[in-house]
Structure 1
Amino acid sequence: MTRISFYFSTLSPFTYLAATRVEEIAARHGVEIIYKPLDIMAMFGRTGGTPPKDRHPSRQEYRLIELERQAKKLGLPLNLKPAFWPTNPAPSSYAIIAAQNAGGGDLGKLHHAFTRAVWAEDKNIAEDDVIRDCLKSAGFDPALADSGLLTGAETYVQNLEDAVSEGVFGAPFYITSDGAKFWGQDRLEDLDLHLAAPAE
């Protein structure tokens, strides 16, 4: 079975704008998704990127223009100045890793719940209550917020190493098992077309 390695950050507004479209694409093609949350700020430092706050003002301005434009196009609510951004993404990432290991819920809904909490609901995804609510809303046991912390931390670090070694430099980033790479929520149509293409 073809797999998609889905690299993302629970802080990423563009991952929020991707919503659950990769899950819809994967279901359509019978493809498995491996969820790989990572520390995007650390990845910027490893791959030549610059955190948003350190970018030239013109780049910062255009980023906000593009976010607003894409959110309107997709019909998603968006707060350009969220109350809790940036915050610590590790706890929410550990919860996703624990949920993926445990099974029984909807991982697409879970990662979107976290990004929506940041970019549309002004919630702090580093707080236990928010993490538990997101887990519950996606059909997972809220107690996963307290389990597998060591495994979560180790996997979180490994996801960054995997990302760097595979050429990932932004989020969301999708890599299929045949090595095709797609960066950004605006490349999901291309991912869909790639998966639909007959094998050569």
Structure 2
Amino acid sequence: MATITYYFSTISPYSYLAGTRLEQIAAKHGAEIVYKPLDIVALFGRTGGTPPKERHVSRQEYRAQEMQRQAKKLGMDFNLNPAHWPTNMAPSSYAFIAAANSGGGDLGALAHGFLRACWAEEKDIAQDDVIRACLTEAGFDPSLADSGLLVGAETYARNLDEAVEAGAFGAPFYVTDDGARFWGQDRLDDLDAHLAGEL
């Protein structure tokens, strides 16, 4: 069975625009997904990137156009300037890690739930009530929002280290068990073709 390690941030607009296509691709190829939420700003700092608000205005303007184009192509609701972005990624990431450790729900739905809450529903995913609602909607116990905080913090930091070691520098970032790397939601078709042995 192939394994796809998925590095993502719960506030990344491009992780949001990926939707649940990764899960569909994994199901198609019988692949396992290993979810690794991380601090995207820290990842930029570790790999030579620049946070969006610190980029040259030309880059910011292009990014704004591109995100809106991609959302339209994908038929996804998208707010270019969400009320709660950026926000603290850690609480939702810790809850995700607790959910992954507990089992019993849909991790793909949980990841997308956090991202949709930020980019389409004007919700602050650092808030306990929003985290609990996302957990519930994805089939997890909402009390996971308050559990495993130490383990969550340790795993969250380790995910960042592992991402850097694996060659990831943005989100979403996909790494297959044979070392192939794919950056961005617009490379999911290439990931699909790679798993099919076509690339």
Please classify the TM superposition score into its range, dividing by the shorter chain length.
over 0.9
Provide the C-alpha distance between the structure 2 equivalents of 1:31 and 1:99, rounded to a whole number of angstroms.
20
Partner residue in 1 for 2:68: 68
Give the match's secondary structure for 2:129. helix
Provide the C-alpha distance between the structure 1 equivalents of 2:102 and 2:33, rounded to a whole number of angstroms.
15
Aligned partner letter, 2:121: E
Cα deviations by residue, 1:72-127 (Å, 9 ceiling, x for unpaired): 00000000000000000000001111111111000010000000000000100000
Partner residue in 1 for 2:159: 159
Provide the C-alpha distance between the structure 2 equivalents of 1:32 and 1:91, rounded to a whole number of angstroms.
25
Provide the C-alpha distance between the structure 2 equivalents of 1:17 and 1:198, rounded to a whole number of angstroms.
24
Partner residue in 2 for 1:172: 172
Aligned partner letter, 1:192: D
Unaligned runs of 5+ in 2: none
Partner residue in 1 for 2:183: 183
Cα deviations by residue, 1:7-43 (Å, 9 ceiling, x for unpaired): 0000100000001100000011111100000000001
Give the match's secondary structure for 2:84. coil
| TM value normalised by structure 2 | 0.99
User: May I ask how many residue pairs the two structures share in their alignment?
Assistant: 199
- How far is 1:198 from its partner? 7.4
Give the match's secondary structure for 2:81. coil
Map 1:10-89 → 2, pairs under 5 A: 10-89=10-89
Aligned partner letter, 1:115: L
- How far is 1:132 from its partner? 0.1
Give the match's secondary structure for 1:35. strand
- How far is 1:191 from its partner? 0.3
Query: Which runs of at least 4 in structure 1 moved beyond 6 Å after TM superposition?
Result: none
Provide the C-alpha distance between the structure 2 equivalents of 1:58 and 1:197, rounded to a whole number of angstroms.
38
- How far is 1:2 from its partner? 1.2
Unaligned runs of 5+ in 1: none
Partner residue in 2 for 1:136: 136
State the identity as a percent: 71
Provide the C-alpha distance between the structure 2 equivalents of 1:77 and 1:109, rounded to a whole number of angstroms.
16
Provide the C-alpha distance between the structure 1 equivalents of 2:192 and 2:59, rounded to a whole number of angstroms.
29
Partner residue in 1 for 2:121: 121
Aligned partner letter, 2:113: A
Provide the C-alpha distance between the structure 2 equivalents of 1:79 and 1:63, rounded to a whole number of angstroms.
13
Give the match's secondary structure for 1:19. coil
- How far is 1:197 from its partner? 1.0
Coordinate RMSD, CA, aligned = 1.0
Give the match's secondary structure for 1:4. strand
Provide the C-alpha distance between the structure 2 equivalents of 1:76 and 1:188, rounded to a whole number of angstroms.
16
